Amino acid sequence: MTDDDTIEAIRRATDSEKLPAPASEVGISEAERVIGYPLPTLLRRIYLEVANGGLGPHGYGILGVPGVEWTDDGYYGEWVDVIDVYRAFSAPDPDLPSSHDVPPYMVWLFDWGCAIWSLVDCRDERGQMWGWDPNSRFEDPLFPSNMTLSEWFRKWLDGNLELPCRGQSFDTRSDR
């Protein structure tokens, strides 16, 4: 499936009146400047062509880039956009606990609740997805989810996307 196909499927599956307006190039540039890496191509296109966040699982969807304006009364509580979360958890800061030692090329994209997140790797144009679960029994809460951003969105569109679980792909989990 191409990025064009994924974007068209997202458009068909979402109500654009309930989503924020598309992002501006300024918002994208600000996010990329702070992160230090370009956003994956598909994510960039979704922000610019569909909506600046708000689409995806659980009705509140992914975080946007700076400049997002919400039409309802909330989103992620204290999180305004991907830069807020990035600065809180990934930006180099000696005052942050070591459990927040997430590489700077990771973008905190979707909050599942209970401190569990889906992150996207900006080193890869296809956007490899990662999971973050500090509640797991493993020492390192960051782990690969074994799918690209396009696959992540396709699983959401097909109703098969589940929260990250170390060592298993999203669609093979039966324990939660």
**Tens of pLDDT, residues 118-153:** 999 999 899 999 999 988 777 788 999 999 999 999
CA 61: distance to chain centroid? 8
- Structure pTM? 0.86
- Alpha-carbon span 22 to 44, nearest angstrom: 10
Of the pLDDT bands very low, low, confident and very high (cuts 50, 70, 90), residue 18 is confident
The answer as to whether 175 is a domain residue is: no
DSSP state of 128: E
Of the pLDDT bands very low, low, confident and very high (cuts 50, 70, 90), residue 176 is very low
- φ/ψ of 24, rounded to 5, equals -100, 160
Asked whether the beta carbons of 60 and 68 are under 8 A apart, the reply is no
pLDDT tens figures, 42-52: 999 999 999 99
Query: The domain spanning residue 10 has which CATH number?
Result: 3.40.1580.10
More confident position, 169 or 43: 43
More confident position, 89 or 71: 89
Q: How many CA atoms lie within 13 A of 111 on its CB side?
A: 20
For residue 70, give its domain range: 3-163
The answer as to whether 116 is a domain residue is: yes
pLDDT tens figures, 27-67: 999 999 999 999 999 999 999 999 999 999 886 789 999 98
The answer as to whether 106 is a domain residue is: yes
Q: How many domains does the chain have?
A: 1
